[in-house]
Amino acid sequence: MGVTVQEQTGLFHLQSSDMSYLIQIVDGYPVHVYWGGKLKQREKMSDLLIHTPAGAGLDRLPQEYPQYGSGDFRNPAYQAELEDGTRITELKYDGYRILKGKPHLIGLPAVYTEDESEADSLELILKDTYSGLKVVLLYTIFADRNVIVRSTQLSNEGDKKLRLRRALSASVDLTGKGDMEIMYLSGAWAREGTIRRRPLVQGETRIDSKRGMSSHQFNPFAALVSKETTEDHGEAFGFSLVYSGSFEAGAEVDSFGSTRFSIGVNSFDFAWQLNPGDSFQTPEAVMVYSGHGLGEMSRTYHRLYRTRLCRGKYWDEERPILVNNWEATYFNFDADKLVSIAEEGAKLGIELFVLDDGWFGKRDSDNSSLGDWYEDRRKLPGGLADVAERVNRLGLKFGLWFEPEMISPDSELYRKHPDWCLHVPGRRRTEARWQLVLDYTRQEVRDYIYDSLSAIFTSVPVSYVKWDMNRCLTEIGSAALQPEHQAETAHRYVLGLYELLERITADFPHILFESCSSGGGRFDPGMLYYMPQTWTSDNTDAVERLKIQYGTSLVYPVSAIGAHVSAVPNHQVGRITPLEFRGDVAMSGNFGYELDLTNFTDEEKETVKRQVATYKQIRGLVQQGDLYRLKSPFEGNESAWMFVSEDKEEALVYAFQVMAVPNAPLRTVRLGGLDPELEYEVESSISGEKSIYGGDRLMQLGLPLKYEQKDYQSMWFRLKAVKPLTRFNIKSYARLRNHRRS
Ligand code: DGJ
């Protein structure tokens, strides 16, 4: 396993426990030979290349980092412009290096190894001798994961300037796979995570963001799947970009029935100046192969992102149950109101109180004060420290909302530094939510934000931060950049953001950070590197959340998926759903409340108390277990999923029915991920009964779902493996079994 090289044939075999990826150097070009289920390493592997050799034209050659201009008319992976205005370069193989583990990507978030033995990396070195352009393709293969991580470094080793007009992270030509389907996540504000699936045909299917953030509209992820691929069967090839800015991803089926998939920073409105000696590092693309359906693809992403992308103190810790005051009060609160919510939360077992927007400057609505990060003494006479200490005294931790990338035109900061926002001289400054975006390409702007936040973190006991970002980038230009660097602004913005996040999260490691961008507008792996959880959507309606959370789980681990119970009628859609239903949906994620607990009746408080106590018992399994999706809310009235512990000894199933069904047929749900050899004790939330079933039966026949005659129903089943029979427990097991049968 790892990387094997056959020097004579120029063949590179990257192999993990169940996957192979093969590249061969043909006429100096790195050619894509194979990606899929594992192939044995054999003496003779060069016969795998069934594709037309380069001599027959580049347009038919399956490549790893294709150029444009010399006969390949498909989308190239890069394009460089020379000082003389020409755009032709021809990269040829110039050597390779094999490295243990995975090298760091300086200044960019990236998947990591904890031990060098976990992965091997291959660098393929390509050069265009005429211009001096050097390209290093970096591949990392994990021993025990079906994952290839790719990124690219482009350097100018010549003596004249080069201008990159396109520099994608990865491109792969899948020969004969022109009849696949593409899946991706689309949406809008409050409608994130919609799963789309459609067949590829000759031509292009492309998703992108030009918004300066990864966006609500398209997540930086796509998968190519076979027509017959389902949750449990068939091939899936996932591509996920570890990046938080404008991106592009696309599949292009050529006239010979092959598919080229490429992904990276959006080439639209992008250019990067490479002076002699300069380099450009692309973000990385995480490519996952599954031979067993979408479920396995997702679980591979989940495990990798949870354990080798998220960092810091909290990545593997159980996350606190929070109550957030946003939907409870919006901007209308004072210290006593906040403490009263926290007080109620304390009685119900909640662990963290989060003070959302409105505590700083003179922010009585969303039209002022962003950038003025000091407390509003009108609302908080004793300051933030006073509120935080009062909350702490109740036994809750204190969390705080910021929107650090923004500036309100109506703010002290803007009056002092009107050029600190992204803007283009002579053009209007487009406001969204009455705010502009700070120019994070500038060190002094980032330093100001660092100083403002760290002053609070060192004087107030802040345990949690919600890092919000509520608008896209417009008039993307920087007062600090020379004309030849203006087209770099959007990417430099993201690099500036990453630099600041690295500093802040490293200097305040005790703080749990949650990212947010009007909900899931920047739910991407780049942000997860710094912040292990994300606010999934501003839409807190439980019915809508079934889809949003299900869709998001295609790529992202449940530990990252923030999910709160909110008040009814729901503030986004006006729907009234039972508290139990809302609780079960939110408990399927990273759990909390977002409402005024002081308004609850005693009965509702009892329900909350029960939910909080239940979540404390199950959160290890929900947040760190393996997710199996069982019924898709995109396909009907029912949804179901389950969480299974790594040792398969414990599991938790949730099932939901949105609308009551008259004269309904018997419904069942077939479980996944259990050990067919084990017997499980199954406890049902509806009947409270415990029964014993074999893992094989639960996965083949399934569990019956007995819904009552009402809308918005949820139920759960807790499964515990019954220990193998020993002399000591054989009697009690037999007794239990007989009892259940009688
Ligand atoms: C958008 C977020 O998604 C909400 O949860 C809330 O924090 C508001 N911003 C506050 O302005």
- The answer to whether position 315 is within a domain reads no
Cβ of 535 closer than 6 Å to ligand 1, yes or no, is yes
- pLDDT tens, position by position, 105-158: 999 999 999 999 999 999 999 999 999 999 999 999 999 999 999 999 999 999
**Encoded tokens for 174:** 């899948």
Give CA–CA dist 202/186, Å, rounded: 22
The CATH number for 217's domain is: 2.70.98.60
Give CA–CA dist 630/654, Å, rounded: 9
* Total-model pTM: 0.96
- The answer to whether position 652 is within a domain reads yes
CA pseudo-torsion sign 168, 172, 176, 182: negative
- pLDDT tens, position by position, 186-204: 999 999 999 999 999 999 9
- pLDDT tens, position by position, 696-723: 999 999 999 999 999 999 999 999 999 7
Write the Ramachandran bin of 8: left for phi over 0, alpha for psi from -120 to 50, otherwise beta. Answer: alpha
Question: Which residues, other chains included, contact 574 with Cβ-Cβ below 8 Å and sequence gap of 6+?
Answer: none
**Ligand 1, residues 326, 536, 545: which to mutate, most atoms within 8 A of Cβ?**
326
Same domain, 520 and 584: yes
- The answer to whether position 553 is within a domain reads yes
- pLDDT tens, position by position, 411-444: 999 999 999 999 999 999 999 999 999 999 999 9
CA of residue 573 to ligand 1 center, whole Å = 17
Burial of residue 646 (CB within 10 Å: 0-12, 13-18, 19+) is exposed
pLDDT, residue 44, reads 78
Helix (H, G, I), strand (E, B) or coil at 678: coil
Cβ of 519 closer than 6 Å to ligand 1, yes or no, is yes
Cβ of 523 closer than 6 Å to ligand 1, yes or no, is no
The mean pLDDT value for 485-509 works out to: 98
**Ligand 1, residues 535, 548, 593, 595: which to mutate, most atoms within 8 A of Cβ?**
535
- The answer to whether position 240 is within a domain reads yes
CA of residue 518 to ligand 1 center, whole Å = 6
Helix (H, G, I), strand (E, B) or coil at 444: helix
- The answer to whether position 50 is within a domain reads no
Structural domain range at position 118: 2-38+72-308
- The answer to whether position 732 is within a domain reads no
Q: Whose CA is nearest to atom 9 of ligand 1?
A: 518
Q: Whose CA is nearest to atom 10 of ligand 1?
A: 357
Q: Which of 275, 308, 341 is the last residue of a domain?
A: 308
Q: Which of 571, 595, 624 is the last residue of a domain?
A: 624
CA of residue 468 to ligand 1 center, whole Å = 7
Where does the pLDDT of residue 741 fall: very low under 50, low under 70, confident under 90, or very high at 90 and above? very low
The CATH number for 551's domain is: 3.20.20.70
Q: Which of 308, 342, 366 is the last residue of a domain?
A: 308
Same domain, 77 and 209: yes
CA of residue 402 to ligand 1 center, whole Å = 10
Beta bridge partners of 152: 137
Same domain, 425 and 298: no
State the closest ligand 1 atom to the C-alpha of 516, by its place in the atom list counted from 1.
3
- pLDDT tens, position by position, 624-654: 999 999 999 999 999 999 999 999 999 999 9
Same domain, 490 and 453: yes
Beta bridge partners of 25: 30
Q: Whose CA is nearest to atom 1 of ligand 1?
A: 518
* pLDDT over 60 at 727, yes or no: no
Cβ of 516 closer than 6 Å to ligand 1, yes or no, is yes
* pLDDT over 80 at 739, yes or no: no
Helix (H, G, I), strand (E, B) or coil at 41: coil
- The answer to whether position 735 is within a domain reads no
| Averaged pLDDT of the chain | 96
pLDDT, residue 45, reads 78
Which of 468, 541, 596, 626 is the catalytic position?
468
Question: Which residues, other chains included, contact 739 with Cβ-Cβ below 8 Å and sequence gap of 6+?
Answer: none
Beta bridge partners of 194: 186
**Ligand 1, residues 470, 565, 566: which to mutate, most atoms within 8 A of Cβ?**
470
State the closest ligand 1 atom to the C-alpha of 535, by its place in the atom list counted from 1.
3
Same domain, 572 and 658: no
**Ligand 1, residues 192, 331, 357, 466: which to mutate, most atoms within 8 A of Cβ?**
357
CA of residue 614 to ligand 1 center, whole Å = 27
- The answer to whether position 52 is within a domain reads no
The mean pLDDT value for 500-523 works out to: 98
Same domain, 246 and 148: yes
The CATH number for 673's domain is: 2.60.40.1180
pLDDT, residue 742, reads 37
Same domain, 403 and 267: no
Cβ of 526 closer than 6 Å to ligand 1, yes or no, is no
CA of residue 367 to ligand 1 center, whole Å = 14
User: Which residue type sits at 418?
Assistant: P
Count other C-beta atoms under 10 Å from residue 413's C-beta: 24
Same domain, 645 and 551: no
Cβ of 538 closer than 6 Å to ligand 1, yes or no, is yes
CB 438 within 8 A of CB 420: yes
Give, as one character, the DSSP assignment of residue 46. Answer: G
Cβ of 357 closer than 6 Å to ligand 1, yes or no, is yes
Quick one: angle between helices 579-587 and 542-552, nearest 10? 10
The mean pLDDT value for 334-357 works out to: 98
pLDDT, residue 716, reads 98
Same domain, 268 and 206: yes
Burial of residue 375 (CB within 10 Å: 0-12, 13-18, 19+) is buried
* pLDDT over 90 at 737, yes or no: no
CA of residue 334 to ligand 1 center, whole Å = 18
Cβ of 514 closer than 6 Å to ligand 1, yes or no, is no
Cβ of 469 closer than 6 Å to ligand 1, yes or no, is no
Count other C-beta atoms under 10 Å from residue 291's C-beta: 17
Cβ of 594 closer than 6 Å to ligand 1, yes or no, is no
**Encoded tokens for 307:** 């354990």
- pLDDT tens, position by position, 208-260: 999 999 999 999 999 999 999 999 999 999 999 999 999 999 999 999 999 99
Same domain, 462 and 331: yes
Same domain, 243 and 377: no
Annotation marks residue 538 as catalytic: yes
Which of 128, 538, 541, 626 is the catalytic position?
538
Give CA–CA dist 631/638, Å, rounded: 7
State the closest ligand 1 atom to the C-alpha of 517, by its place in the atom list counted from 1.
3
* pLDDT over 90 at 673, yes or no: yes
Q: Cα 363 to the chain's mean position, in Å?
A: 31
Cβ of 638 closer than 6 Å to ligand 1, yes or no, is no
pLDDT, residue 49, reads 73
**Ligand 1, residues 360, 402, 516, 523: which to mutate, most atoms within 8 A of Cβ?**
516
Number of folded domains in the chain?
Answer: 3
**Encoded tokens for 199:** 């067949």
Same domain, 228 and 303: yes
Q: Which residue has the tokens 């077939």?
A: 670
Give CA–CA dist 362/378, Å, rounded: 9
CA of residue 496 to ligand 1 center, whole Å = 23
